[in-house]
Each structure stands twice: as structure tokens, then as C-alpha cells.
């Protein structure tokens, strides 16, 4: 923690210079990199004085001076088996240190490619000019990977992105990103998991962009697990065209600092967005979820349900924003945030925020923070269930509400297994 963020920035800029010199790229990307590097110079790492980072500091993560890991060249598919979900039949896509190094044969109608130029139909590549992590991501980007699903194609097996970070040799800062495009009427389920290979500190800087064409349906499960020195700054930007449905299921289960920005732009009428989140934190884990649902057009619907369980010295942050633009009449937007505090030192900061600029809307949010109901605990204990087991049972039930929303049974079982396992430790 002896390193000042400014010094770290210098170190990083120096690294970017060297890195750029030996990594060629298409002209469009070289421009983007140069712009991003310029932007970094004018930006600073987040401090708690910034409204968006009021409750979260990354000092613990950047204090380890993480730098990008050395590239790996190839992997043995058999070795990957340990990262597959038990019993899940999926098309696996393996990304190590931000580079896609392996994938199973792709189903019909699905393509995976590197971009040679920025396609005109895609949104501007840098939508958040004030976010230093997004700029770092772009400055160190070797190529844009695009995963596309053709119009009308219904992809049967889920696509499982396994994101591996090689921190076996040193503290690393890993850039990870993927552009995904879903054609009109396409249907697809995505699953993202991340794992560290070693024991050093790791900071995963991830940027996912999803573009949904009219009437496409996308389910997106993101599972975040990591050891006590693994941190994540993740942005997921979703652009939805008319009639599309996007459902996000975000599970933050362990790690050091996790910061998620989930940003949905509802750009076509009659779109639906569902956001479900579950965060379990203990020890010194810090989990910060920022959601922004931007209702840009009339007749859209969004639902959010985020639940959190905080034990030990853990801190949770939820900042959910519903933004309804003046023209977005007939918007229905709902948001719920429920939290359980299980220990004396656990903290929860929440800010459910509504910004409504249209009048014919129905928007609501609700938020609760509390502890397990004593009456219910007593009920269980009166029936011979010990206090520990009663607590675990109730927390498990509280958490399963979100897991139950996931459609795939194998993914559900996997998540419930992790939660059950964690509860044995998190409850005194």
C-alpha cells in the first residue's frame, strides 16, 4: 500500500509505451489506443471523492502494482476440463489473459472473429470517456474479438466463456473483453466464469459489450469467484433494439474487491430487461454493484432484483439507477434491493436512484437492510435444528431466490453447491 495511485499511473503509462511499440494492430485500433493513452494522462484513479466511487476504493488492488501478464501461446484442451461446469453441455470459449486461445467447434450460425476495422453499425467503442479503466482496457487492447449469432438462429447449447488469468509468476492486471452481436430473432444463452491460475494478486479489467438486434432473446449468467487477492472491475454494456429481451444474472461470490457496472441502453420499443444479482461477501471482501437502466424509448419494461448477504468485515455497495428520458413514455421500471447483515462489522451502502423525465411512467424501487428474523430462527430451533444450521438454512433460502431465476439446471446446481459450501464458513 506504499504506492501512490499517481505513481502507479506513471508505471502503467510507461508500460503502455513499451507494449504499443511491439504490438501492431489495424489502423483503427492504433488510433483508439493512442486516444485512450492520451485520455489516461488526463484522468486519475478513482477516489472516494468521486460520486461514482463514493463507497469503493481500489487502493488495495492497485497497491500491488499489477501489470499485464506475459502472453501464453497455446493450451491443452484436456487441461481445461477442470474449469468446465459439472454436467453442463456447452460450447466453451477459453480466454487466457484476455486472448481467446481455444474454443470448441462453434454451432451453426455462430461466428467468432477478430475485427480488422471498426464496423459502422456498432456503437462508438469508448462510451465512458471518464472511466480510466475503460481507457486502460482500450490502450492495451491487442484486438477486438467479436462473437456473432446469425439472425433467426436459436443456439441450443449455452456458450460458456471461461476467463483465465495467469497470475502464477507476478501480480497482474488483465484486460478482458468481448463484443457480442445477436441478429434479429436470435436466441442464445451465455455463461461467463473466471478463474485465477496462481496465487499472486490479480486485477481483472473486463469490458463486455452486447448488441441485441430486434426480437433477439439473450440470457447472460456471470459468475465471479476469486481468492482474497483477486479483484475485478467489470463493465457490461448492453444495447437493446426493439422487442429484444435481455436477462442478466450476476453472481459475485468471492474475491477481494469486485466492482460491476452494468449499463443497459433500451433503444427500441417493447424491449424487456431483467437484472438479477446475488452477492455473498465475507472476510474483507468488498462488492460494489452499479446498475444503470437507460430507458430511451417508450413502452419498455425493466425489472431489477439484487440481493446481498454480508458477513465478517465485508462491505456491500448497491447503486441502482433507473433513468427515464423525456420521450420514454409508458415505461415500467422496477427495482428491488434486499440485504442481510450477518456480523457486527459488515457494512452495506445502498443508493437506489430514480431519475424520471417523462410523466406517463410507473417506476418504483424498494430497498431493505436487516438481519435474520428471530421469530423464524426460533421456529426452526423449536423443531430441533441447531442455531448454526437454522441460520444457514435461512440464508440459503434467501440466496436461492436469485439462483432459481437461472434457467439452466446444471448452472443452478453448480451455484447452489457453491453457496451451500460458503455458508459453512460465513456464519458463526
Partner 1 sequence: MNGQEEDLLSEITGSDYKYGFTTNIEQEFAPIGLDESTIHFISQKKNEPEWMLQWRLNAFAKWKKMQEPEWANVQYPRVDYQSISYYAAPKKKDKLQSLDEVDPTLIDTFNKLGIPLEEQKILAGVAVDAVIDSVSIKTTFKEKLAEAGVIFCAISEAIREHPELIKKYLGMVVPANDNFFASLNSAVFSDGSFVYVPKNTRCPMELSTYFRINAQNTGQFERTLIIADEGAYVSYLEGCTAPMRDENQLHAAVVELVALKDAEIKYSTVQNWYPGDKNGKGGIYNFVTKRGICKGANSKISWTQVETGSAITWKYPSVLLTGDNSIGEFYSVAVTNHHQQADTGTKMIHVGRNTKSRIVSKGISAGKSQNSYRGLVKVMNRADGARNYSQCDSLLIGDACGAHTFPYLEIDNQTANIEHEASTSKIGEDILFYCNQRGIDNEEATAMIVNGFSREVLDMLPMEFAVEAKKLLAISLEGSVG
The residues of the shown chain that bind partner 1, judged by CB under 8 A, are 51, 55, 326, 329, 339, 341-371
Q: Nearest-CA neighbor of 209 among 259, 273, 261?
A: 261
- Measured from the CB atom, the residue of 189 and 335 that comes closer to partner 1 is 335
CB of 317 to partner 1, least distance (A): 10
- Measured from the CB atom, the residue of 326 and 384 that comes closer to partner 1 is 326
Cα 36-40-43 angle, rounded to 5 deg: 135
* Cβ atoms 101, 75 nearer than 8 A: yes
How buried is 161 (Cβ within 10 angstroms: 0-12 exposed, 13-18 middle, 19+ buried)? buried
CB of 370 to partner 1, least distance (A): 5
CB of 344 to partner 1, least distance (A): 6
CB of 399 to partner 1, least distance (A): 17
CB of 359 to partner 1, least distance (A): 4
Q: Nearest-CA neighbor of 239 among 219, 214, 206, 260?
A: 214
* Cβ atoms 284, 311 nearer than 8 A: no
The total number of residues written for the chain in this structure: 428
* Torsion on CA atoms 191, 169, 257, 295, rounded to nearest 10: -40
Q: Nearest-CA neighbor of 318 among 334, 307, 303?
A: 307
- Measured from the CB atom, the residue of 217 and 340 that comes closer to partner 1 is 340
- Measured from the CB atom, the residue of 95 and 314 that comes closer to partner 1 is 314
Q: Nearest-CA neighbor of 306 among 322, 295, 323, 326?
A: 322
Chain mean position to CA 257: 12
**Cβ-count burial 340-359 (b if 16+ within 10 Å, e if not):** bbbbeebebebebeeebebe
CB of 309 to partner 1, least distance (A): 11
- Measured from the CB atom, the residue of 159 and 392 that comes closer to partner 1 is 392
- Measured from the CB atom, the residue of 221 and 324 that comes closer to partner 1 is 324
- Measured from the CB atom, the residue of 357 and 425 that comes closer to partner 1 is 357
Give the whole-angstrom CA distance, residue 180 versus residue 124: 14
- Measured from the CB atom, the residue of 49 and 121 that comes closer to partner 1 is 49
Q: H or E element: which one contains 310?
A: strand 301-310
Report DSSP state, residue 115. Answer: -
* Cβ atoms 302, 273 nearer than 8 A: yes
CB of 58 to partner 1, least distance (A): 19
| Dihedral sign of CA atoms 94, 219, 139, 291 in order | negative
- Measured from the CB atom, the residue of 215 and 426 that comes closer to partner 1 is 426
Q: Nearest-CA neighbor of 353 among 365, 339, 337?
A: 365
Give the whole-angstrom CA distance, residue 247 versus residue 411: 15
CB of 242 to partner 1, least distance (A): 22
CB of 348 to partner 1, least distance (A): 5
CB of 12 to partner 1, least distance (A): 30
Cα 284-405-251 angle, rounded to 5 deg: 20
- Measured from the CB atom, the residue of 7 and 376 that comes closer to partner 1 is 376
Amino acid at each position: 500500500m506504499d504506492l501512490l495511485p499517481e505513481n502507479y499511473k506513471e508505471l502503467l503509462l510507461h508500460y503502455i509505451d513499451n507494449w504499443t511499440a511491439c504490438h501492431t494492430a489495424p489502423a483503427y485500433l492504433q488510433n483508439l489506443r493512442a486516444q485512450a493513452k492520451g485520455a489516461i494522462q488526463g484522468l486519475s484513479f478513482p477516489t472516494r471523492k468521486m460520486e461514482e466511487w463514493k463507497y469503493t476504493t481500489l487502493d488495495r488492488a492497485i497497491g500491488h502494482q499489477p501489470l499485464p501478464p506475459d502472453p501464453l501461446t497455446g493450451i491443452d484442451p484436456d487441461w481445461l476440463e477442470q474449469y468446465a461446469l459439472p454436467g453442463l453441455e456447452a460450447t466453451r470459449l477459453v480466454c487466457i489473459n484476455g486472448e481467446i486461445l481455444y474454443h470448441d467447434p462453434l454451432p451453426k450460425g455462430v461466428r467468432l472473429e477478430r475485427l480488422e476495422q471498426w464496423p459502422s453499425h456498432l456503437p462508438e467503442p469508448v462510451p465512458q470517456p471518464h472511466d480510466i479503466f475503460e481507457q486502460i482496457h482500450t490502450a492495451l487492447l491487442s484486438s477486438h474479438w467479436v462473437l456473432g449469432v446469425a439472425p433467426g438462429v436459436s443456439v441450443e447449447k449455452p456458450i460458456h466463456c471461461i476467463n483465465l488469468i495467469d497470475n502464477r509468476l507476478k501480480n497482474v492486471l488483465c484486460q478482458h473483453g468481448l463484443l457480442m452481436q445477436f441478429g434479429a430473432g436470435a436466441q442464445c444463452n451465455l455463461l461467463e466464469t473466471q478463474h485465477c491460475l496462481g496465487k499472486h494478486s490479480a486485477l481483472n479489467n473486463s469490458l463486455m459489450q452486447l448488441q441485441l438486434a430486434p426480437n433477439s432473446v439473450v440470457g447472460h449468467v456471470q459468475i465471479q469467484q476469486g481468492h482474497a487477492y483477486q479483484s475485478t472491475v467489470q463493465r457490461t454494456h448492453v444495447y437493446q433494439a426493439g422487442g429484444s429481451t435481455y436477462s442478466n444474472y450476476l453472481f459475485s461470490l468471492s474475491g477481494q474487491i469486485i466492482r460491476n457496472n452494468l449499463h443497459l441502453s433500451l433503444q427500441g420499443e417493447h424491449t424487456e430487461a431483467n437484472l438479477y444479482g446475488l452477492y455473498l461477501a465475507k472476510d474483507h471482501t468488498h462488492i460494489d454493484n452499479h446498475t444503470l437502466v437507460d430507458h430511451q424509448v417508450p413502452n419498455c419494461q425493466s425489472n431489477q432484483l439484487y440481493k446481498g448477504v454480508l458477513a465478517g468485515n465485508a462491505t456491500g455497495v448497491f447503486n441502482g439507477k433507473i433513468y427515464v428520458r423525456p420521450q420514454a413514455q409508458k415505461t415500467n421500471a422496477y427495482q428491488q434491493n434486499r440485504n442481510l447483515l450477518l456480523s457486527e462489522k459488515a457494512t452495506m451502502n445502498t443508493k437506489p436512484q430514480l431519475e424520471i423525465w417523462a410523466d406517463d411512467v410507473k417506476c418504483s424501487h424498494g430497498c431493505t437492510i436487516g438481519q435474520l428474523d428471530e421469530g423464524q430462527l426460533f421456529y426452526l430451533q423449536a423443531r430441533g435444528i441447531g442455531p448454526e444450521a437454522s441460520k444457514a438454512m435461512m440464508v440459503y433460502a434467501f440466496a436461492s431466490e436469485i439462483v432459481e431465476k437461472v434457467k439452466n439446471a446444471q448452472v443452478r446446481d453448480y451455484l447452489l453447491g457453491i453457496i451451500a459450501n460458503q455458508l459453512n464458513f460465513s456464519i458463526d
